[in-house]
Amino acid sequence: MKKYEYNHVRMSYTFLSFLSKTAFDRQLSELLDRMGNEGWQLRSSICEGLLPTHIHFVFGREKETS
């Protein structure tokens, strides 16, 4: 039976990312690339509030068997 592990990441907007779509895209891409290189796959994302200051990401991957 396959087993999975999950990781929660809270990404806060930088000041520049809050004002610039390009800066936000860069910040998001860096996070997704870093997590993907570690074998994590994005499972879900949650944005809170009317004026969000951060986004929650849930990543998952199959557990390595030893």
Model confidence over 45-59: pLDDT tens digits? 998 777 777 899 999
**pTM of the complete model:** 0.82
User: Using CA atoms, how far apart are residues 35 and 59, in angstroms rounded to an integer?
Assistant: 8
Strand arrangement, sheet containing 41-47: 4-12, 54-62, 41-47
Percent of the chain exceeding pLDDT 70 equals 98
- The arithmetic mean of pLDDT across residues 22-43, rounded, is 95
Domain count of the fold of the chain: 1
User: Domain limits at 32?
Assistant: 4-62
Q: Could you give the residue ranges of the DSSP H alpha helices within the chain?
A: 15-19, 21-37
